[in-house]
Structure 1
Amino acid sequence: MTKKVITIGNASGYWGDDPEALTRQVNGGKLDYISMDFLAEITMSIMQKQRKRDPEAGYAKDFLPMLEKVLPRLLANKTKLITNAGGINPGACAAAISAMAGRLGLNPRIAVVYGDNILDQLSELKAKGCDFKNMENGKAFADVEKQIEAANVYFGATPVAAALAWDPDIIITGRVTDTGISIGPMVHTFGWRWDDWDKLAAGVVAGHIIECGSQATGGNFSDWHLVKSYKNIGYPIVEMHADGSFVVTKHPGTGGLVSVDTVREQLFYEMGSPKAYITPDVVADFSTIHLEQEGPDRVRVSGVKGYEPTDSYKVSMAYSDGAKCVGEIAISGPNARRKAEAFAAIFWDRAGKDFVATETEFFGLNAFHRSMGRDEEANEIIMRLGARDYDTKKLRQFAKVVPSVILGGPPGVCILGGVGKVQDIVSYWPALMPKAAIHPRVALYSDGFKEDKDVTNTQSGRFRANESDIQVAEKPRDPVRAAVATAGAPLYEICLARSGDKGDTANIGVMARSPLAMAFLNEYLTAQRVKDVFQELCLGRVVRYRLDNMQGFNFLLEHALGGGGTLTLRADAQGKTFAQALLRQLAPIPEQVLAEVKQLRTATGT
């Protein structure tokens, strides 16, 4: 008999997430599946370097002790675990799990999804017509080809679903999309067709909600004060129905919060074009999502529409791009700001500015929000000094200058962390390639790969997004200074926000607290205004999309992260602080808008 509902819980949103999350998910109640996400664009290059030093490395080794603690109960519960912890060496990860299980007297059935690592196939694929040009700026692959250190294809759910046909206890994958490891179980369990776009799109939305772990259950939440406890925070669980509707929840008795607003915020996280959330399996339309609070810590999601996917896979590459060095000095006492500015002048006079890029940030004053913040006197400031270049000799000299200035300037200072370390930079190169050029592979693992086979890709077309109500701002109206209001109420009073990143683009999702607030924000918070406010940080366009179904807006800020990833010299490499910078801005909010929001928040206890 086909199941009508399955439960999928997430236990990791990134490499370095809470190591106890898996234990809480396994011990908190029976689940059909648990998914764990460990990979990011830069992670693959780190793993590639590890594998160069050790052929048996190249996967998330932190995963093994997490699994060891719960493996007996996981198997007893018949909960299947699916994770991309395999990195660029999923076979070695499977072997390590098998060996660990053997020591425990256990013999789990392990499947492996691989074939995404195309580093050694680039020349062959180029000969077949894959040009690998940069999908964001159109630059030719030849510009970076010799510096490529990692190259991985984003596979979708098809190999995961194929592997589940073997009834494994654990599936270890390489670079499978965050949503793919969630959709696979749905297709396998419910028998969804690969051209049932609406159901697949619902799977994408479910996967997107849970992929970042506790960000859906109260983590990074604008209204963080509503979360009664962050102790033992519950990680998200999806109760997926065969018709594509689902409920987002968490285990009872855990910390955190599941509400329409926590789910809304996560849906906006790292969102691009709302009507075209592109995955290898389907294109999901986020403008069709309907959210409803079903009960305490339960949000029902329905109405999702989807479309035929594109004929391409995304390829994530990483390439060597020079080096950087950062040093920090703490300044305290009266006139801390003036002293910090004096130290910066002394430092750069000694170090020079003959570098590809430099950065000076004042923590405790304006490091994250620049002139968007209020001009207040600080008791102490940490001055962060950074330089980027292709000449490591210059950077080593830069590092020596940082501690050398503390005795030759204003008083009340100390060096933090000693001499700065010169770090290699690995930059991100996103590209596309035809799906027909490569196939995922799956295998059972038992002292090596068994029953190894190709997986047929899902059918694909040439989807083109049909967005409407888009605003674009190219340049600030006043290029001299940011447009920061000095009177009014903070935007936080009438909206929530969350920010994320993709490469050098930051996104800020803004969600109104009431219909009148939505109407006001539609007129006031334009793409042009956001460009004016963020002009010091955002050097490219600002694009605004409106989503009436979620009573919000998605802003894309291009060239806003100083290069992003490991390339940037900024402390906030991923735009995590952008949403808070926007929420603190003052605006001439009408009294009737504030009154409606207050009334709604009082009625709902938020």
Structure 2
Amino acid sequence: MQSAAVRIGNCSGFYGDRIAAMREMLEGGELDYLTGDYLAELTMLILARDRARDPGLGYAKTFLRQLEDTLGLAVDKGVKIVANAGGLNPGALATAVRDLADRLGVSVDVAHVEGDDLVARAAELGLGAAPLAANAYLGAWGIAECLDSGADIVVTGRVTDASVIVGPAAAHFGWARTDYDALAGAVAAGHIIECGTQATGGNFSFFTEIADLRHPGFPIAEIASDGSSVITKQPGTGGLVSVDTVTAQLLYEIAGARYPNPDVTLRLDSVALSAAGPDRVRVSGVRGEPPPQTLKVSLNSIGGFRNATSFVLTGLDIDAKAELIRSQLESHLTVRPAELQWTLARTDHPDADTEETASALLHCVVRDPDPKIVGRQFSSAAVELALASYPGFTSTAPPGDGQVYGVFTPGYVDATEVPHIAVHADGTRVDIAPATETRVLAPLDDPAPPEPLDPGRTVRAPLGRIAGARSGDKGGSANVGVWVRTQSEWHWLAHTLTVQKLRELLPETADLPVTRHLLPNLRAVNFVIEDILGRGVAYQARFDPQAKGLGEWLRSRYVDIPERLL
């Protein structure tokens, strides 16, 4: 067991992230481990389609490109690498890494973790008849087993995003499986750094306060033996690590105060943040509970075929023009698609001094199991109206053939039904047992809100004048976390930003199930909005299919703010 803090950096927040980040992190300063998160719900669909075309694929190919550039450097510096880049085929990626190392003349032990792929057993486990991919979210103990046995590189399939950080910390300190507070602290640190530069100023509400955001550095978690940590970045890199940037990332894609992982449930309401120097934030006080008995499963399927076009409506009579083209197009369709959706974006301005700012966009999206209905039929109908519709008829681009779209569905299976296997460099396979102590995941009652603030004189102003926000997707749902910086602002926010108020400010949520959770330690409220994203990101149910801008829309809405808070 070690006593000094372990330095774990992250160099990837998604498949397609900055290709040079691995080298930047290795050259930028001392690290013990370098991790990468390459998998998202949409990524699993992309990799599943890769594997369907070629059974030898299904992993993040950019990981190999990064290693080709840096493997010798990592070995020279003694930095071990852990990444979930294995996707749907971690064994194949491990073999590819070994082949790469041989080609480069570098000696490394490469291990991998598998067992998450349940697609062959989907029907047996009640996960649907024939999904394209079905992957359980595994935990960190397979990674720890590989590292304990001397692996220099560990690649995994679908583990939780934080697990690539928890595994190295658990191996480094020799934690037991019931060291819940320490494990939860590592989950908190992992959740903060898993999305890369989102912890160092990327996608940050108060970005104008950051001196240099041209090339933000990737984050590092210095994790102590008790699970507490300091979040930082390599010296001299751009961006910012502050209590606010860390708060924003903690609020990303969460629900209530309990944040479940396969090894521990993190109590988000226990997390305390404090400044620990320039670009250093201490994360302490974290408590953990036994994990749930079930594992979440990412299910990706082909939903059908989709097509879309956007009509440009310019100048006067926008609503009448929209109604004309809508009625014309629908009457020209001999077979109505299973889904036909119209959205009018009023981007036009009166008396505009450019044609673009005088124009609105009318979007039409169609979906159907039959590619011909959303392909040739729809495209022909839209194009044939070019000289027979509203004045100034034009579109952003003519519609083409219908394209396949995917749907994401979360599933749950008992952890005892899911194999979790560490495969060492010599081929030895070690079964990782599921947690023996579990706890049913139940929502916590919200704490009592703080005393209401006497508003005094108020000013009509955007919520974002005092509040930050971070939003994201979770299957068909989205979350919006909103936080403020001072205790007085918190007293106001907790009583002002209710579910009812959110529905008023974001009319798209008016008829959707919405829950609110209070997180006083972070001076934050988190909203979970169900069904706003339809059947997942690939379904593209709305203008912003991943809900990344939802929080910024909320910040732009006007509310009555006490003048003294401004």
User: TM-score, normalized by length of structure 2?
Assistant: 0.91
Aligned runs of 1:446-461 on 2, under 5 Å? 450-461=427-438
Q: Quick check: 1:379 aligned with 2:362? A: no
Counterpart among 219, 232, 237 of residue 220 in structure 2: 237
Shift of 1:402: 3.3
Counterpart among 390, 407, 415 of residue 369 in structure 2: 390
- CA distance in 2: counterparts of 1:154 and 1:65, whole angstroms: 26
Corresponding position of 1:361: 343
Shift of 1:537: 4.4
- CA distance in 1: counterparts of 2:464 and 2:181, whole angstroms: 34
Corresponding position of 1:260: 243
List alignment gaps of at least 5 residues for structure 2. Answer: 349-355, 449-458
> What percentage of aligned pairs have identical amino acids?
37
Q: Is the 8 A contact 1:336 1:378 kept in 2?
A: no
User: TM-score, normalized by length of structure 1?
Assistant: 0.85
Aligned runs of 1:427-446 on 2, under 5 Å? 427-445=407-425
Corresponding position of 1:601: none
SS of 2:154's equivalent in the other structure is strand
Q: Quick check: 1:309 aligned with 2:263? A: no
Shift of 1:337: 7.2
* Matched residues, number: 548
Distance 1:338 1:73, change over 3 A: farther
C-alpha deviations, 1:342-377, integer Å up to 9, x for none? 5445444434893332233345729xxxxxxxxxx9
Q: Is the 8 A contact 1:470 1:545 kept in 2?
A: no
Q: Is the 8 A contact 2:409 2:535 kept in 1?
A: no
The residue identity in structure 2 corresponding to 1:554 is: N
Q: Is the 8 A contact 1:87 1:175 kept in 2?
A: yes
SS of 2:516's equivalent in the other structure is strand
Corresponding position of 1:476: none
The residue identity in structure 2 corresponding to 1:246 is: S
The residue identity in structure 1 corresponding to 2:296 is: K
- CA distance in 1: counterparts of 2:432 and 2:161, whole angstroms: 19
Q: Is the 8 A contact 1:308 1:460 kept in 2?
A: yes
Q: Is the 8 A contact 1:539 1:559 kept in 2?
A: no
Corresponding position of 1:16: 16
The residue identity in structure 1 corresponding to 2:386 is: I
CA root-mean-square deviation: 2.3
Corresponding position of 1:246: 229
SS of 1:103's equivalent in the other structure is helix
SS of 1:536's equivalent in the other structure is helix
Distance 1:26 1:406, change over 3 A: farther
The residue identity in structure 1 corresponding to 2:400 is: G
Q: Is the 8 A contact 1:386 1:569 kept in 2?
A: no
Corresponding position of 1:424: 404
The residue identity in structure 2 corresponding to 1:573 is: P
The residue identity in structure 1 corresponding to 2:121 is: Q
Runs of 4+ aligned structure 1 residues displaced above 6 Å come to 334-338
Q: Is the 8 A contact 1:528 1:542 kept in 2?
A: no
Distance 1:78 1:586, change over 3 A: same
Q: Is the 8 A contact 2:7 2:31 kept in 1?
A: yes
Aligned runs of 1:188-227 on 2, under 5 Å? 188-227=171-210
Q: Is the 8 A contact 1:270 1:501 kept in 2?
A: yes
List alignment gaps of at least 5 residues for structure 1. Answer: 133-140, 367-376, 472-486, 595-606
- CA distance in 2: counterparts of 1:538 and 1:88, whole angstroms: 38
The residue identity in structure 1 corresponding to 2:365 is: G
Corresponding position of 1:492: 464
Q: Is the 8 A contact 2:255 2:517 kept in 1?
A: no
- CA distance in 1: counterparts of 2:54 and 2:359, whole angstroms: 45
- CA distance in 1: counterparts of 2:542 and 2:74, whole angstroms: 42
Corresponding position of 1:474: none
- CA distance in 2: counterparts of 1:107 and 1:550, whole angstroms: 45
SS of 2:521's equivalent in the other structure is coil
Distance 1:380 1:188, change over 3 A: same
- CA distance in 1: counterparts of 2:181 and 2:441, whole angstroms: 17
Shift of 1:329: 3.8
Corresponding position of 2:96: 96
| Between 154-163 and 39-48, the greater mean CA deviation after superposition | 39-48
Q: Is the 8 A contact 1:508 1:579 kept in 2?
A: yes
The residue identity in structure 2 corresponding to 1:358 is: L
Shift of 1:415: 3.7
Corresponding position of 2:513: 541
SS of 1:146's equivalent in the other structure is coil
The residue identity in structure 2 corresponding to 1:2 is: Q
Q: Quick check: 1:328 aligned with 2:300? A: no
SS of 1:450's equivalent in the other structure is coil
Q: Quick check: 1:399 aligned with 2:369? A: no
- CA distance in 2: counterparts of 1:399 and 1:233, whole angstroms: 43
Distance 1:185 1:279, change over 3 A: same
Corresponding position of 1:467: 444
SS of 1:232's equivalent in the other structure is coil
Counterpart among 263, 267, 291 of residue 281 in structure 1: 263
- CA distance in 2: counterparts of 1:536 and 1:437, whole angstroms: 39
Corresponding position of 1:66: 66
- CA distance in 1: counterparts of 2:506 and 2:563, whole angstroms: 27
SS of 1:384's equivalent in the other structure is strand
Shift of 1:565: 1.9
- CA distance in 2: counterparts of 1:257 and 1:351, whole angstroms: 53
Q: Is the 8 A contact 1:538 1:560 kept in 2?
A: no
Q: Is the 8 A contact 1:4 1:190 kept in 2?
A: no
| Between 545-554 and 48-57, the greater mean CA deviation after superposition | 48-57
SS of 1:284's equivalent in the other structure is strand
C-alpha deviations, 1:466-518, integer Å up to 9, x for none? 512389xxxxxxxxxxxxxxx81111112111111211111110102322221
SS of 1:68's equivalent in the other structure is helix
SS of 1:532's equivalent in the other structure is helix
Q: Is the 8 A contact 1:332 1:381 kept in 2?
A: yes
Shift of 1:334: 6.6
SS of 2:538's equivalent in the other structure is coil
Shift of 1:264: 0.5
Corresponding position of 1:478: none
Q: Quick check: 1:516 aligned with 2:471? A: no
C-alpha deviations, 1:271-316, integer Å up to 9, x for none? 1112x10000000000011101112211111000110111222122
The residue identity in structure 2 corresponding to 1:588 is: D
The residue identity in structure 1 corresponding to 2:501 is: R
C-alpha deviations, 1:21-50, integer Å up to 9, x for none? 222111211211111111122322332232
The residue identity in structure 2 corresponding to 1:184 is: G
- CA distance in 2: counterparts of 1:495 and 1:451, whole angstroms: 52
Q: Quick check: 1:298 aligned with 2:280? A: yes
- CA distance in 2: counterparts of 1:214 and 1:353, whole angstroms: 47
The residue identity in structure 2 corresponding to 1:294 is: A
Shift of 1:119: 1.2
- CA distance in 2: counterparts of 1:187 and 1:255, whole angstroms: 30
Distance 1:459 1:589, change over 3 A: same
Q: Is the 8 A contact 2:341 2:365 kept in 1?
A: yes
Distance 1:350 1:175, change over 3 A: same
The residue identity in structure 1 corresponding to 2:366 is: A
| Between 323-332 and 432-441, the greater mean CA deviation after superposition | 323-332
Q: Is the 8 A contact 2:371 2:403 kept in 1?
A: no
Q: Is the 8 A contact 1:83 1:173 kept in 2?
A: yes
Aligned runs of 1:561-572 on 2, under 5 Å? 561-572=533-544
- CA distance in 2: counterparts of 1:83 and 1:363, whole angstroms: 41
Shift of 1:244: 1.5
| Between 313-322 and 184-193, the greater mean CA deviation after superposition | 313-322
Corresponding position of 1:31: 31
